[in-house]
Amino acid sequence: MTETIQLGDIAIAVTRKSIKNVHLSVHPPEGHVTLSAPLNTRLDVARAYAISKLGWIQQQQEQLRNQARETPRDFIGRESHYLWGRRYLLNIAETPFRPTIEIDHKRITLLVRADTDTVERARIMHEWHKSLLHDFIRQLLRKWEPRLGVTVQAYFLQRMKTKWGSCNHKAGNIRLNTELVKKPKNLVEYVVVHELIHLLEPTHNDRFIALLSEHYPQWREARSELNALPLASFSLNHLIQTENTHESIHW
């Protein structure tokens, strides 16, 4: 059951879970606030905690309001597009054959029929992005599954507005955001390792942090770098900011 705490114009959704610590999060893109608390936490106690963190909440919301956003893409010539953290210029070329995409060190060339509209160009690019991401994710799974002693039953790529990834611990599945293909590969690896460790520990407790620190000690730097990158034009997220990195890394 979710309850709401109202602090002035800030509404905080409170959820009680089987956890030990309180997790306070400010979610992109609009800065809505959630508070997860142990099952026996009284609402007045949760409210007092939220009040004590009001300055931090306002600071996080202000950062999100000022966060750089990508401009919407029109899929026209000389438009900037990103792949694995690098900027490329889009080149549009006509072909009477099936659409294809070529890439060199400066340009991504989209070869399409002359009557191909923006929606179809976007779809073709998205499918290409997914194929590239599939290839890289498979490499990462071959690397990290034996290191962590886990097996992913299935993984899924999809557009996600408020998460970079998620894990279904019971089913052994992970889901990853297709926007990751635009980010540097080391940051994609961080997200994958984070989700794989959830197969060992489903919550963001001390054991999870210890495992992540053991296997990916630079995770804090990777998280900060990922959080500093622009939000997608359709208001895709950052990783959710957390009050205490030893408590949780919400997605």
List, for residues 57-110, the tens digit of each pLDDT value: 999 888 777 766 677 889 999 999 999 999 999 999 999 999 999 999 999 999
> How far out from the chain centre does Cα 29 lie?
12
Q: What is the pTM of this model?
A: 0.73
Beta strand extents in the chain (DSSP E only): 2-7, 10-17, 23-27, 32-38, 80-83, 86-94, 100-103, 107-112, 154-158, 165-168, 173-177, 241-242
As a whole number, mean pLDDT of residues 43-54 equals 95
| Coil/strand/helix, residue 54 | helix
Contact 203, 19 (CB under 8 A): yes
How far CA 214 is from CA of 121, 177, 181, 207, 210, in Å, comes to: 43, 25, 26, 10, 6
Cross-strand bridge partners of residue 14: 3, 35
pLDDT tens track for 221-239: 998 888 777 766 543 333 3
Residue ranges matching CATH 3.30.2010.10 in the chain: 80-242
Question: How far is Cα 190 from Cα 226, in angstroms, rounded to an integer?
Answer: 10
Helix and strand element counts for the chain (H, E)? 6, 12
On the question of pLDDT at 126 being above 60, the answer is yes
Return the CATH architecture of domain 80-242.
2-Layer Sandwich (3.30)
| SS3 annotation, 193-238 | HHHHHCCCCCCCCHHHHHHHHHHCCCHHHHHHHHHHCCECCCCCCC
Query: Phi and psi of 209, rounded to 5°?
Result: -60, -40
